Chain A
């Protein structure tokens, strides 16, 4: 059932309204899972997950215990305008949590979202990279919360768990804010901006059902899930462009590569020149690959998880 989480009037005849789909099983107040997405308006992978999860849970309602809240669009104005950020506001929405009732309209909205999710037994925050990079299905965990969250992340049927270093600026994210409030929150990254990858969505839905089972919210048999690779920053190699132009890959996303193997090149359309050839610095798996061809000097081309092979 659709419910309003928080709303604010817009200038001309409309309200900014954050909504959620509440699905309840027996003993509705015993446990709660929150599935949120759409913080960045150009990330759409979570749309399919929100839609399909609601359908699957309706089918399994007799097995469900507790409440599942699905928030399909934390930034509805961004999604509706194909805009990553918050229209008319400088800051990224994932830099204004936990929000405030005494600051701007968007911080008021952020505060309302936090108040609504707070107290859930688990929150899954689904992201979809951006329009430039394609990501394999993964969970990102701040090293400060790794001890608690990595065991939960392993339930989500993802390919990879990246335990990243703590940065002060990340203290304004939804996930960090909820974790600090005692609501365990996992950040999923998968796919690419402005697109939906159905297979990734289905993979995550199996993972969410697995999490529900382990939280004691779903009866029946535990879904079969894959074992993810777990690594820290030290295992990840970054490959950035050192020239501007267009990027043509020589590898596929998710491919295992050898040190020194060509990843692709940057071409100059004006004169037919190759401006830069890019090579893998390590043996490993290409878990991030450039999707949008035009690059400036510095644009991220790929991330390779070192030390893993076929």
Chain B
């Protein structure tokens, strides 16, 4: 393992210079790059990358790397925001992940995005440990933006429960994932359950899934990720829901069913991501914040697996309470 300084965030005189480090493993070939936190609340993403640094370091010491495998892990480029508990750039509230591919002569977060992008250039595969724009809990999954630049099936090699194919919206065109693809790196976004707190189980799954991906490519010893198998087994998904011969189900995001609420109030969940539900099952209730009376009951409109659940306890009307993968997609 070699630690290299990729660049420095220089905000003198008000803050001290902040070095951004990358951790290099294996050969000098640019095989796989992993980007951790780019937003100040992505603690889980930084932690997942850090776990990966530790795992890769151990594997490298054991001599497990294929001769042509070279990996870069960047745990964090969001120190400036993270140290003051801000999700975005503290001065102007801009989001680095809406600034790619960046512009070296542009505004502050455009310049930072350009430096990050420069460090991540030229890799065959890229993994962004991403967080979502809605506050909520997910089933751990790998996500590909369907740009036509890469084969979507490659995402199956992570061995996570789901591979989600997303059609990019205009606002997606300035994300790292989208631009990394355009610049010839096959790119995957890995989503764990959480963002601003650490979820050990899904962090382990995500880190293992990256090693599994490299194993499937013949660059590390083949090893089924125990964390993924344990998760699938606990959720009753092993060998039943999943297609034979594969550990991953590929779903298109547009097939998801959004389950909305009409009333605002306190949200009480009765079911959670990865639960299989039947049409008519009670999923949640919206409670009156003054009287605790039930204002609305949220039922499942179809059989399927819950993929996403709104996180906050207070909820406005017309929100997405759950996203469901309907059974015919399963």
Mask of A239-280 contacts with B, CB within 8 angstroms, 1/0: 010001100000000000000000000001111000000000
Near A by CB (< 8 A), chain B positions 289-330 give 289-290, 312, 314-320
Interface size class of B (residues with CB under 8 A): 35 or more
Docked complex Cα distance between A145 and B57 (Å): 55
The main secondary structure of chain B at its interface with chain A is loop
Task: Please state if B170 and A171 are interface contacts (CB–CB under 8 Å).
Answer: yes
Shortest CB-to-CB span from B193 to chain A, Å, is 18
Shortest CB-to-CB span from A42 to chain B, Å, is 10
Residues of B within 8 A of A85 (CB): 93
Shortest CB-to-CB span from B83 to chain A, Å, is 15
Mask of A264-306 contacts with B, CB within 8 angstroms, 1/0: 0000111100000000000000000000001011111000000
Residues of A within 8 A of B262 (CB): 9
Contact pick for B258, options A102, A170, A172, A271, CB 8 Å: A102
Task: Please state if A244 and B12 are interface contacts (CB–CB under 8 Å).
Answer: yes
| Stretch touching chain B among A89-97, A184-192, A211-219 | A89-97
Task: Please state if A91 and B171 are interface contacts (CB–CB under 8 Å).
Answer: yes
A105 at the binding interface (Cβ < 8 Å): yes
Shortest CB-to-CB span from A129 to chain B, Å, is 12
When A9-B316, A105-B316, A108-B318 are in contact, do A90 and B107 touch as well, CB less than 8 Å?
A: no
Mask of A153-186 contacts with B, CB within 8 angstroms, 1/0: 0000000000000001111100000000000000
Contact pick for A169, options B106, B171, B264, CB 8 Å: B171
Residues of A within 8 A of B111 (CB): 297-298
When A104-B319, A297-B11 are in contact, do A91 and B133 touch as well, CB less than 8 Å?
A: yes
Task: Please state if A172 and B169 are interface contacts (CB–CB under 8 Å).
Answer: yes
A1 at the binding interface (Cβ < 8 Å): no
Shortest CB-to-CB span from B152 to chain A, Å, is 21
When A12-B289, A169-B171, A296-B11 are in contact, do A104 and B320 touch as well, CB less than 8 Å?
A: yes
B146 at the binding interface (Cβ < 8 Å): no
A130 at the binding interface (Cβ < 8 Å): yes
Docked complex Cα distance between A299 and B90 (Å): 13
A8 at the binding interface (Cβ < 8 Å): yes
Docked complex Cα distance between A255 and B318 (Å): 49
Task: Please state if B289 and A11 are interface contacts (CB–CB under 8 Å).
Answer: yes
A147 at the binding interface (Cβ < 8 Å): no
Mask of A70-84 contacts with B, CB within 8 angstroms, 1/0: 000000000000001
Task: Please state if B264 and A103 are interface contacts (CB–CB under 8 Å).
Answer: no
Mask of A100-125 contacts with B, CB within 8 angstroms, 1/0: 00111100110000000000000000
Docked complex Cα distance between A95 and B318 (Å): 19
Task: Please state if B173 and A168 are interface contacts (CB–CB under 8 Å).
Answer: yes
Near A by CB (< 8 A), chain B positions 153-181 give 169-171, 173-174
Docked complex Cα distance between A271 and B27 (Å): 45
B76 at the binding interface (Cβ < 8 Å): no
Contact pick for B316, options A16, A95, A244, CB 8 Å: A16
Shortest CB-to-CB span from B227 to chain A, Å, is 29
A200 at the binding interface (Cβ < 8 Å): no
A310 at the binding interface (Cβ < 8 Å): no
Docked complex Cα distance between A298 and B93 (Å): 14
Residues of B within 8 A of A84 (CB): 93
Task: Please state if B13 and A90 are interface contacts (CB–CB under 8 Å).
Answer: no
Near A by CB (< 8 A), chain B positions 218-268 give 258, 260, 262-266
A151 at the binding interface (Cβ < 8 Å): no
Task: Please state if B316 and A298 are interface contacts (CB–CB under 8 Å).
Answer: no
Contact pick for A13, options B92, B105, B109, B290, CB 8 Å: B290
Closest A residue by C-beta to B92: A132
Docked complex Cα distance between A240 and B114 (Å): 15
Residues of A within 8 A of B (CB): 8-13, 15-16, 84-85, 88-91, 95-96, 102-105, 108-109, 130, 132, 168-172, 238, 240, 244-245, 268-271, 294, 296-300
Q: List 22 A-B contacts (CB under 8 A).
A: A8-B264, A10-B316, A11-B315, A15-B264, A16-B316, A90-B95, A95-B171, A103-B258, A104-B134, A104-B318, A104-B319, A104-B320, A132-B92, A168-B173, A169-B170, A169-B171, A240-B106, A244-B11, A244-B14, A245-B13, A297-B108, A298-B110
Task: List 3 tightest A-B contacts by C-beta distance, closest first.
Answer: A298-B108, A9-B264, A9-B317
